[in-house]
Amino acid sequence: MQLFFQDLVNGVLAGGILAVAALGFSLVWGILNIINLAHGTFIMLGAYITWQLFTSFHLDPFLSVPIAFAIMYGFGYVLQRGLINQVVRAPILATFLLTFGLSLLLVNLALIVWTGDTRAVSPAYSGANFTVAGVTVPWTKLATLVAALLITALMHVWLVRSKLGRAIRAMAMDVGAAQLAGVRVAHVYAVTFGLGAGLAGAAGALLSLSYSLNPSMGEPFLIKSFVVCVLGGLGSVQGALVGGLVYGIVESFASQLDVTVLGQHLSGSGLQDVIALVVLLVVLVARPTGIMGRAAA
């Protein structure tokens, strides 16, 4: 029973970061109709920005979160404005491949800049934890969860209240109508992609406290972001949050699996991508209408 609660808590703690990561992915997908295959790479870049600031200037990782957000926002804005806007109306394959190519480019640049060595961000307090009713909670992970919830809430308020947020939501409903009402499409597309990249950067900064860093660390988070989006529903803040927490819990329990099939020993902790795929397929098949049946234009 104690193990059950420990798994549950671990899942919720992990789910917060997943929610932030998936929120950026979900915005870009829901509003621009782009599957950003470089999203995982943006998360990696956010983590490395944090690592660099921590190593060079001893900056606390939590203080790096807004910096990583800002840098990645600017980067995302320029990328969309300069490159992706050129082919955003092409068949989906174009943006799929374009973001994949960008991801390959950035991962290899990161390999040159930071090498393939595994890095870690470990401030003095990183090992501290407390125990409630036999369940151990690391302080950093709890603080990460709080930060993640804060970011999600801020994002929600901004989308609902601000003028630009309204423009983004208007475009999600009808690009043509939004354009007629005076929304500058190219600019708002770039802002949206920038936000997606910024949220990925923030997620990367938060991740750097609990995961080790290497240039290919982003790929599993890309797949997880996708699963969280499908779980929670597209383009909505609440969806990403609920999906992130649910997925975090599912993964936490699944990683405890230890099965032997036909003499083959399989342990859940080595099969993260398989678990993500199974969850994805189950959701897609169990909900044949709604999210799944929607044909992309």
Question: Least Å distance between CB 292 and another protein?
Answer: 6
Q: Which residues bind another protein (CB under 8 A)?
A: 29, 33, 35, 83, 85-90, 92-94, 96-98, 100-109, 112, 185-186, 189, 219, 223, 226, 230, 264-267, 270-274, 276-277, 280-281, 284-285, 288, 291-296
Give the Cβ contact number of residue 112 at 10 Å: 9
Q: Smallest gap, in angstroms, from Cβ of residue 266 to another protein?
A: 6
61 vs 239, beta carbon nearer another protein: 239
* Nearest residue (CB) to another protein, 103 versus 140: 103
279 vs 224, 247, 254, CA distance in Å?
10, 8, 10
Closer to another protein by CB, 113 or 154: give it: 113
How far apart are the C-alpha atoms of 197 and 39, rounded to whole Å? 7
- DSSP assignment of the chain equals -HHHHHHHHHHHHHHHHHHHHHHHHHHHHHHH----TTHHHHHHHHHHHHHHHHHHH---HHHHHHHHHHHHHHHHHHHHHHTGGGSTTS-HHHHHHHHHHHHHHHHHHHHHHH-S--B----GGGG-EEEETTEEEEHHHHHHHHHHHHHHHHHHHHHHHSHHHHHHHHHHH-HHHHHHTT--HHHHHHHHHHHHHHHHHHHHHHHTTTS-B-TTTHHHHHHHHHHHHHHH-TT-HHHHHHHHHHHHHHHHHHTT-EEEETTEEEEGGG-HHHHHHHHHHHHHHH-TTTTTT----
Closer residue to another protein in complex, CB, 3/273: 273
To another protein, the closest distance from the beta carbon of 270 in angstroms equals 5
Q: Give min distance, CB of 267 to another protein, in A.
A: 8
Please report how the helices 237-254 and 139-161 are oriented relative to each other, as an axis angle in degrees rounded to 10.
Answer: 160
* CB nearer another protein, residue 96 or residue 253: 96
> Closer CB to another protein, residue 154 or residue 292?
292
Nearer to another protein (CB atom), residue 180 or residue 285: 285
Least distance to another protein from the beta carbon of 244, Å? 17
Residue 274 C-beta: closest distance to another protein, Å: 4
CB of 70 to another protein, least distance (A): 25
Nearer to another protein, 116 or 127 (CB): 116
Please, what is the minimum distance in Å from the beta carbon of residue 281 to another protein? 7
